[in-house]
Amino acid sequence: MVDEPSVVWPQITVIGVRGIPEVQRNDDIAALILKATTDQGVVLSGGDIIVVTQKIISKTEGRTVDLRDIEPSPFALTIGRNSGSDPRHIEVVLRESKRIVRMDRGIIIAETFHGFICANAGVDASNVPGESRVTLLPNDSDKSADAIRRKLEAHTGFHLSVIVSDTFGRPWREGTTNVAIGVSGISPLKDYRGLEDEHGYELKVSVAAWADEIAGCADLVLGKTDGIPVALIHGLEYPRGSHSITALIRPAENDLFR
């Protein structure tokens, strides 16, 4: 009898990194990740992807606002009065917005200065200590991811990638999902164009939002109430290199919904 060759099934491992405390301004996220993974018995390997939630980066970078310090504009007061929302929160959203895409039923969909289109320009009060504090998106999430990656690589001695994630809603579908808002060491897109499928058909338009898919995968172990702000993804082959999250932002001339 001839032994059948063993089948290698594609697989990846996704680990939620516990043990990271409530961060403070100027905390070293890379050091916190290294300590937490060591305490948890998780060994980093070359090619691993670390997904870090936007919230802890914003906190360490001082991208938080105390609403008690905000003087709402007349426009924010009008929106707040009509929607029943806190006009101070609305004022922060307006300040973080490049343009308002739509306002309806107390919801503001805005384009941020980064080019992201999302609810409330990414201004968020969840998972922030203090009833009057909100977080803003990092000024440059690519730069934030790159700083974390370089520190981790300096400690481990091998290539790693970092994705900064945030939670966005989606047109036409209920519920939210994690997406990438910053990358370092990994291409945010995976281009299949020019390749052939299993039937020999040449793929002409298939480009996967690779970083978004990874961020969404990581969210399965992060949760919203579990206090796990970092996930480790092991065993995934991916396109590496120096890239920017702007590759995921569709140019206005190609956007049918602007």
Confidence at residue 203, expressed as pLDDT on a 0 to 100 scale: 61
Please name the residue that has the structure tokens 């994690």.
178
Does residue 115 come out as left (phi exceeding 0), alpha (psi in the -120 to 50 range) or beta? left
Confidence at residue 257, expressed as pLDDT on a 0 to 100 scale: 76
CB 102 within 8 A of CB 61: no
Please name the residue that has the structure tokens 């929160």.
89
Max CA distance (Å), the chain: 83
Confidence at residue 5, expressed as pLDDT on a 0 to 100 scale: 62
Residues of the chain with pLDDT under 50: none
- Report pTM: 0.91
Query: Could you give the CA distance from residue 45 to residue 233 in angstroms, rounded to a whole number?
Result: 10
**DSSP state string for 130-167:** STTEEE---S-HHHHHHHHHHHHHHHH-S--EEEEEEE
Please name the residue that has the structure tokens 């390749």.
195
- Mean pLDDT, rounded, of the chain: 89
Query: Could you give the CA distance from residue 177 to residue 179 in angstroms, rounded to a whole number?
Result: 6
Confidence at residue 255, expressed as pLDDT on a 0 to 100 scale: 81
- Cα angle: 205, vertex 212, 199; to 5 degrees: 35
Confidence at residue 189, expressed as pLDDT on a 0 to 100 scale: 87
Contacting residues for 127 by C-beta, under 8 A, at least 6 apart: 55, 224
Cα Rg for the chain, rounded, in angstroms?
A: 20
Q: Which domains does the chain have, with CATH numbers?
A: 15-62+139-253 (3.30.1330.100), 64-137 (3.90.1660.10)
Confidence at residue 146, expressed as pLDDT on a 0 to 100 scale: 97
Query: Could you give the CA distance from residue 170 to residue 69 in angstroms, rounded to a whole number?
Result: 32
Does residue 185 come out as left (phi exceeding 0), alpha (psi in the -120 to 50 range) or beta? left
What is the tens place of the pLDDT at every residue in 193-223? 666 566 666 566 677 889 999 999 999 999 7
Confidence at residue 205, expressed as pLDDT on a 0 to 100 scale: 65
Confidence at residue 89, expressed as pLDDT on a 0 to 100 scale: 94
Confidence at residue 231, expressed as pLDDT on a 0 to 100 scale: 96
CB 36 within 8 A of CB 18: yes
